Amino acid sequence: MDANVADPITVQLNGRAHRLAANTTVDGLLARLNTNPFMVVVELDGDILERDQHARTVLRDGAEIEIVHFVGGGQA
């Protein structure tokens, strides 16, 4: 294996294991999931991330991530 390529990591995403490239950011994960970052809240290891933290927050092996989607609706 190339010494310049880091091994993939495994994170828990909404309770399920997902393998990601090393150095994946929260923004990168949301893009991979085709998820609009303005329509979700991201919790990382029990802490809610502010949207401005998504681009600079690199996921680590074993991270626990919860992504909660906003759902429209209400009473008519």
Tokens of 4: 């310049």
Architecture of 9-69 per CATH?
Answer: Roll (3.10)
Residue 74: predicted pLDDT = 64
pLDDT at 6: 81
Provide the whole-model pTM: 0.84
Would you say residue 24 has pLDDT above 90?
A: yes
Q: In sequence order, what are the residues at sequence separation of 6 or more whose Cβ sits closer than 8 angstroms to the Cβ of residue 74?
A: none
Are 10 and 19 in contact by the 8 Å Cβ rule? The answer is yes
Mean pLDDT value of segment 4-18: 91
pLDDT in tens, 41-76: 999 999 999 999 999 999 999 999 999 998 776 666
Domain residue spans in the chain? 9-69
